[in-house]
Structure 1
């Protein structure tokens, strides 16, 4: 059974499972990370497509179920445990199973894992070449938000500086069991060949500091963190707010503040 504490809602519409795999673009021989396989519906489709799947399942009963269901599939590596060893680090078991190969995240993500996992992969794992995920609509909104939006923040800047983000569809809650109280979205992220940042981890750490004071004037906000851009970017007014700046402008600001 799904556990509310783990944020589990199983995607039960097989057409949407197929749509998610199609949107991911994965095929024979591709390496896929799946987090929260649940009963294994998506896992089965990925294996049918000839993918090598590294799946991470935290729930004891579901891990056993998936292990038994696919016991004859050599392409599946099932890891019983959390996908992250902390909010900022992929678990060593998963990192070891993925090795140095390029991979894609294809998953119906447990709700509370979505933002931390996506941030970790975007900032610390350039071998993650793309993602196709179902997530809460509000998380998808944050990924795609622009300057001035109330939900524009760290994940918006990181996602847009490192990837091309696309909403494939919004999904009604009857596509899931148990029915969640919120709407979900299917989203793809494709790594940019030329990202807007050369150090996404540094940019992410900078954003998490400054977005905590999103309504403050920039000059005072930076000063409160002991930061001074050198030189001050000509296209940014000292009275501007961080929430009004485009992702690429925030990257420039971060570099100048950190002396990179």
Structure 2
């Protein structure tokens, strides 16, 4: 008799009871028990047999099972040592799944790809139900590896998802939005009710897909560190005007202040505008001009 999917509520409870498991707050564990949502995640990631998939935090293997049915190979990184034998058991029918007791923030991802995928030239995709408390660090780590990801599809807190996909001028738009937009196109695929989890979290979730930028940046940054330092500075006090957020760069230096005024005029930027209204290309152009004027210290 064929067993129900791991993500079936009854089977999830049976697995937890069999192994004496409970969700650990320290790992941000909330087990997804909605097979429709699980299949929807795989659909949103557009997984096929040509894909190599890295899953972060497989938990009890509910999403891993769905991925394994469609992907060429799945390498799942699980930090909780107690779940390694559980995953070996519940995923024993799949010969295209490998579970590693690894921390995604510490593992050498390029080396992992070379060592654990038969053909590392095939598309590499990341699919994950990310712990809420560490969503942003994981995303920035993935994007900072310079790996040519074919796609990243992740579940996260709905509020964070809205920040990733925000547009200029909205309250959700900020430094995280721009950091993601610099590298990828972000889209919310669908929302997920908190009732789809065991235990239920206090907030709803959303599935976000990150794909390669459809359009190249119209302006290239002179210095990425200066660019993102400027962006972070401007959103530290997001309710202040752009001018007030730029003051630390010239302080009481009259010459530098005049340079900043000239730069804003040339960029056609109103000093009283709020940073949340600037596009990524405008931030890049501003950072480039400030770098040329040596206003970054």
* Range of TM-score over shorter length: 0.7 to 0.9
- Match for residue 29 of structure 1 among 41, 47, 50: 50
- Match for residue 97 of structure 1 among 112, 135, 141: 112
C-alpha distance in structure 2 between counterparts of 1:123 and 1:256, whole Å: 25
Relative to 1, partners in 2 of residues 1:207 and 1:234: Cα closer, same or farther, differing over 3 Å? closer
What is aligned with 1:149? Answer: 170
Residue 72 of structure 1 deviates from its aligned partner by 6.7
TM-score by length of 1: 0.85
Residue 115 of structure 1 deviates from its aligned partner by 1.4
Residue 166 of structure 1 deviates from its aligned partner by 1.9
With 149-158 and 21-30 compared, the bigger mean Cα shift is at 149-158
With 189-198 and 23-32 compared, the bigger mean Cα shift is at 189-198
C-alpha distance in structure 2 between counterparts of 1:124 and 1:39, whole Å: 27
More strand per residue? 1
Question: Secondary structure in 2 aligned to 1:84?
Answer: coil
CA contact (8 A) 2:185 2:214 kept: no
CA contact (8 A) 2:53 2:71 kept: no
What is aligned with 1:250? Answer: 283
User: Structure 1, residues 23-71: CA drift from partner, whole Å, max 9, x if none?
Assistant: 1012113121211100011111211113322211111111332234335
TM-score by length of 2: 0.75
C-alpha distance in structure 1 between counterparts of 2:279 and 2:133, whole Å: 27
- Match for residue 56 of structure 1 among 44, 67, 77: 77
Question: Secondary structure in 2 aligned to 1:219?
Answer: helix
Matches within 5 A, 1:102-141: 102-141=123-162
Task: Give the structure, 1 or 2, with the largest relative contact order (CA under 8 Å, sep 6 or more).
Answer: 1
Residue 82 of structure 1 deviates from its aligned partner by 2.0
**Matched pairs, number:** 254
Radius of gyration: which is bigger?
2
What is aligned with 2:61? Answer: 40
Residue 194 of structure 1 deviates from its aligned partner by 3.1
What is aligned with 1:178? Answer: 199
What is aligned with 2:15? Answer: none
C-alpha distance in structure 2 between counterparts of 1:150 and 1:95, whole Å: 36
What is aligned with 1:222? Answer: 246
What is aligned with 1:80? Answer: 101
Relative to 1, partners in 2 of residues 1:212 and 1:44: Cα closer, same or farther, differing over 3 Å? same
CA contact (8 A) 2:44 2:209 kept: yes
C-alpha distance in structure 2 between counterparts of 1:163 and 1:194, whole Å: 10
What is aligned with 1:70? Answer: 91
C-alpha distance in structure 1 between counterparts of 2:131 and 2:280, whole Å: 27
Structure 1 portions without partners, runs of 5+? 86-90
Question: Secondary structure in 2 aligned to 1:165?
Answer: strand
C-alpha distance in structure 2 between counterparts of 1:256 and 1:75, whole Å: 51
- Match for residue 3 of structure 1 among 24, 48, 53: 24
* RMSD of equivalent CA atoms: 2.7
What is aligned with 2:273? Answer: 240
CA contact (8 A) 1:77 1:97 kept: no
CA contact (8 A) 2:188 2:207 kept: yes
